[in-house]
A = this chain, B = another copy of it.
Amino acid sequence: MKEVKVGIVGFGTVGAGVAAILLRNGEVIAKRTGVDLVLTKIADLDITTDRGVAVPDGILTTSVDETIAAADIVVELVGGTTFARELILKALRAHKMVVTANKALLAKYGKELFAVAMENGVDIYYEASVGGGIPVIKALREGLVANHIQGIYGILNGTCNYILTRMEQEGADFEPVLKDAQKLGYAEAEPSLDIDGFDTAHKATILASLAYGEWFGADDVYVEGIRNISQLDLKFADELGYRIKLLAIIKQLEGDVQIRIHPTLIPKSALLANISGVFNGVAIDGDMVGRTLFYGRGAGREATASAVVADLADVALNIAHQSVHRVPAFRAGSQYAKVTPIDDVTLRYYLRFEVRDEPGVVARIAEILAGKSISISSFVQHESGSGCGVPVMILTHLAQEKLIKAAIAELEALDVVCDKVKLLRIEDI
C-alpha cells in the first residue's frame, strides 16, 4: 500500500486531535482510501507537556525544518498569520502538500498561498477552516458544483451560538453568559475575534470566494458582532416568532454579491433557528438543488481534526494517483458583478428604542418612516420599560438600508425618543 508521510506543525488542541485520529483510526482510513497515512513528525516549541496522545518515540521535535523535510504533507496548526504564513510558504516551496485549518490566514493571504502552491505543483487544502468537522467546503465546491449559488446562510461560530442560545434559554444577559462561557472554555479570554464577528467573517470570506470565484478580502465583508444583543431583543424576537442568530449571509441578487455578518432575526421554524449551542450549520441555496443544509460541530479537538484528516486523505489520494490540482485550492472565474455595499442592501429591519409615553408619539414615528417610504409590518409598544421611557419595537417591510439609517437619524433627533435606536436585520429564510 502506498505510504504518505504526514508532518504536523503545532501540537495544540487540533494538532493532538489529528495525531490521535491517525494513530487510532489509521487502519480504517487505509482500508477506505488504499493509502496509508504515516505520522512522521510533530513539531512544537513545547514537546514535553502531555496532550493525552501516546505518540511513538522519535515523532516529537522542536524543528519545523526537520518536520517539513520528513513529510509528504505538512499540516499547519500553529494559528496566527505571521509564522504560519512563513511556514506554509516554506513547505510549498519545498514541494510539500499543505493542509491547514487557519481561516484568518486564508482570508488574508489565501491568494498568495494558492499561487505559490500552483507554481510548485502542490495542493493546499483547508476543509477544517470553515464549520469545524462539517465537510462543507467539499460539499460547496464538489457536491454542489452544478449550481449557481443563490445564497449561503451560516452559523459559523460556536462561541456566539453558545452565548445566544444560553441567553435565550435562560433569559440571561450577554455579559454574565460570556463570563461563564469563558470559565467553561467555550470563549477565549480575549473574546473579540469570536463575539465581534471577525472569525465568522474569515469563514464567510472563504465560502463566498469558493461560491463566486473571486478571493474576497476583508473590505468586501460587512461585520457586526453580538455584543449589543440584549435580553429585550431576544424577547421581542421570540414574541414575533423569530430567533436571533449571528449569521454569515452570502447572497447573489441581480448579479451582485452581498457578504455580511450580523445578528439576524430568522423564523423559529427555519432549521437554522433550531441549531443551538456550540453547533454550526450552513444552509446553501443552489439554483438547481434548492435549499441544502449541513450541520455539525464547528470546533473542538476531534471534530476539527476529522476535517483535517479528510483533507489529508484527499491530498494523499492526489499523491497516490498523481492527480495534484485535480481540485485545486482555488480556481478563479468570477461569477458575480460587484459586491454590494451594506447601505445598498434591501432587507426587512427590526428597530427598537424607548420613547416617552406621551400622546402623538406613534404618529410622529410613523410619519418619519413614511417619509422614507418605509412600510411597517409590526409595531409593538410595551407598557413599561427599564430605561428612560417605554420600549417600542418596529418590524419593517423591505427597505433599503440607507433609508433605514436616515430614518433612524431622524427618530433619534425626536425629543420623545429618549435613547439610541437599536437596528437588527431580518432574513425570512
Contacts and interface: CB of A to CB of B under 8 A. Distances in A.
Given A289-B297, A303-B288, A31 B333 contact: yes
Interface in A294-322: 294-297, 300, 302-303, 305-307, 309-310, 313-314, 317-318, 320-322
Nearest to A269: B274
Contacts of A288: 17, 21, 25, 133, 302-303, 305-306, 309
A135 B142 contact: yes
Interface stretch (A144-152, A187-195, A386-394, A400-408): A144-152
Given A147-B306, A294-B294, A306-B146, A289 B133 contact: yes
B296 A333 contact: no
A426 B290 CA distance: 31
A84 interface: no
Contacts of A34: 331
A164 B294 CA distance: 23
Nearest to A132: B289
A310 B29 contact: no
A328 to B, nearest CB: 8
Main secondary structure of the interface of A (DSSP, over half): mixed
Nearest to A312: B146
A41 B235 CA distance: 59
Given A274-B271, A288-B302, A29 B138 contact: no
A52 B303 CA distance: 45
A56 interface: no
Interface residues of A, number: 61
B296 A290 contact: yes
Interface string A341-370: 000000000000000000000000000000
A44 B127 CA distance: 41
A242 B240 CA distance: 25
Interface string A1-42: 000000000000000010001000100110111100000000
A303 B288 CA distance: 6
A133 B275 CA distance: 22
Contact of A32 (B31, B213, B325): B213
A16 to B, nearest CB: 12
A309 B25 contact: no
Contacts of A295: 271, 291-295
A335 interface: yes
B293 A297 contact: no
Contacts of A382: none
A134 interface: yes
A240 to B, nearest CB: 20
30 contacts: A21-B146, A21-B288, A25-B146, A25-B287, A29-B145, A31-B213, A32-B141, A133-B289, A133-B292, A135-B292, A142-B314, A145-B313, A146-B305, A147-B306, A271-B271, A287-B302, A288-B306, A290-B297, A291-B295, A291-B297, A292-B294, A292-B295, A293-B293, A294-B294, A317-B323, A317-B326, A318-B323, A318-B326, A321-B321, A323-B323
